[in-house]
Amino acid sequence: MNLAALAAPMRPLTLWAPIGLEAPQSLIEVSLETQGATRDVTGRQVVLSLVPLVIGIGTAAGEAPRASAGATLVFRDRARAQALGTLRLGAAGRLGSEPAPLDYCRVEGSDHACLSSPMRAWQRFLQARRGPTQGFSMSARELQHLLIFYICPRPVFLVSVADGAHENLFPMDLVGELGDGLFSLALRTTSPSIDTLRNSRRAALADVPLRNRALAYSLGKHHKLARIDWSALAVDTVCSARHGLKVPADSPRVRDLDVLDVHAQGSHTVFVCRVTHEERRPQSGPDGPARLFHTSGIHRAWRRRQGDLPWREEPA
């Protein structure tokens, strides 16, 4: 074994790894466990705020609250039925009402089995030296919680908004399904597009093929803008079927959304939306059905130790 291989475990893990998977992801199942009851919430849990870290759980209309203080979110490898991470939930409540209720809870603690105890301590030390992440300061403790949340791969979308005066297209992964055709979008409170979305009450959500990773990341600068120059984009666009919002022409799936509720939640503003139209487009090319997802570096490290990387990775 050469020196580089020996030193590899001592290097800092990437926090968030871009990977290619077929949507929806089927590697990880997420369960909400409380008072002896277990509920599958794989397609119903989202981040509502990063500071403080608040998780939302989708609840069907008329259903009793799912989340409660003392509950846990457990992230399991589906093939091995092995728990890879756990989030302990604290204070809980409910946002909104019918037809879009949304349970929420603070994250109070966490644990994971992706790294050995010595490596976990070493990686926490290295991460603390990096300073602020996510563009602002998260505590080291809450960053660890977030890494466990991202054991479940999270899809990246391009979001298109317009209100007649302003229009924008930007990437997001703080987006999630809540069940029953509902989605939540969590935008930083500093985003100029919050007003655009409040005014228009509509958005278009476009899946990102893995091959468009560089494009999606290049559009990250749009988060600071209220209006963009569409002619400067390095991608052809078409209009979404229901709302006529511009999206990349090669997006494999586009969903038009109507905004039902808006909630301020810590560092973010949360938009609860309903899908009003969905369009799927046939795909071809070397990556086939692979969509761009993010997962945590600790999850990727665990997969590598198992000799099992069931996704596509592209060179940086």
Is residue 253 included in any domain, yes or no? yes
Q: Which two tokens stand for residue 124?
A: 């926490």
Q: Look at residue 190 and tell me whether its pLDDT is greater than 70.
A: yes
Q: Tell me how long the chain is.
A: 316
Same domain, 148 and 169: no
**Does the pLDDT at position 4 exceed 50?**
no
Contact 139, 127 (CB under 8 A): no
Residues 107, 40 share a domain = yes
pLDDT tens-digit series, residues 213-271 = 999 999 999 999 999 999 999 899 999 999 999 999 999 999 999 999 999 999 999 99
| pTM greater than 0.75 | yes
| 98 DSSP assignment | T
The enclosing domain of 162 has a CATH number of 2.30.110.10
Is the same domain home to 142 and 255?
no
Phi-psi region of 141 (alpha: psi -120 to 50; beta: other; left: phi over 0): alpha
Letter for the amino acid at 120? R
Dist CA 41 CA 177 (whole Å) = 10
Alpha helices, DSSP H only, in the chain? Answer: 3-7, 117-130, 140-149, 193-200, 213-218, 297-306
Query: Cα–Cα distance between 29 and 245 in angstroms, integer?
Result: 33
How many domains are contained in the chain? 2
Of 267, 275, 12, 311, whose CA–CA distance to 138 is shortest? Answer: 267
Question: Closest Cα to residue 197, out of 173, 172, 167?
Answer: 167
